[in-house]
Amino acid sequence: MYGWRGRIGLLVPSINTTMETEFWRIAPEGVSVHSARISGGRHGTPEELRGMEAASKDAARDVAMVEPDVVVYGCTSGSFFEGPAWNEKICGQLSEITKAPTVTTAGAMAECLRAGGHRKVAVVTPYVELTNERLKEFLRAFGVGVTHLGTFDMLDMFDHAKILPEEIYRKVKASNSDEAEALFVACTQLRALEVLDLLERDLGKPVYSAIQATAWQAYAAMGVDPRISDCGSLLRKLSEPGALQGMGAAPRKRAQKTA
């Protein structure tokens, strides 16, 4: 059976074309990704983001049928917009439906910054002003201040996927400062994975992205070392001795791979 090491139940906004593709690209042997789409969310309005929270429960019922080891709510703004308590509510609802631990992208963002000991970060987003302000508020609740926020200022969330990796590279580099201890690229529709190693090498500090952080927490929850070496230092750390101990729930028992 595919997914003998672990199965990821990935819930993505219906307009997202990036996260599903990249989760499959980095998945190691024995890990499978099973997606369900959350209706709504193209324009990222408060009404649409709140509606996605309700729609995610229908998507979770579909993906629960594959008995996932971890469920991922793969929308950054959709999990931070109404604050930490809302994010926790989403986790509780989806875990109750799927009987599996739930990772949200906003939660993974906060957790990777906490794990890195970062208190001041620069952030790059594709969002409009209201959503950017909500992102800052969310991080402040975890004791993280935003030193600078660089934005592409695009309302249509489908168009976020059209932003090229080299454009993301330039925006992140322009958002950096001596004050920033790390940088974070928000939004699971942005193709940032391809330039994380280059940015870390050129800037000399940690650079995280929404998809990278979500994958990091999902693999930790499964107790699986994915041995991903080309998507930034955060994912490489999962291969360090003892890295997975105490980081997440134990995965369900899987049938052993046969020849």
Domain residue ranges in the chain: 6-107+212-239, 112-208
pLDDT of residue 220: 97
pLDDT in tens, 113-130: 999 999 999 999 999 999
pLDDT of residue 156: 87
Taking the domain 112-208, which CATH number applies? 3.40.50.1860
Q: Are 23 and 228 in contact (CB under 8 A)?
A: no
pLDDT in tens, 145-179: 999 999 999 988 899 999 999 999 999 999 999 99
HSE-up (13 A, CA, CB side) for residue 74: 36
Q: Are 161 and 18 in contact (CB under 8 A)?
A: yes
C-alpha 127/C-alpha 153 separation (Å) is 5
- The reply to whether domains 6-107+212-239 and 112-208 share a CATH topology is yes
Query: What kind of fold does domain 6-107+212-239 have according to CATH?
Result: Rossmann fold (3.40.50)
The CB density around residue 5, as the number of other CB atoms within 10 Å, is 21
pLDDT under 70: residue ranges of the chain: 41, 44, 246-259
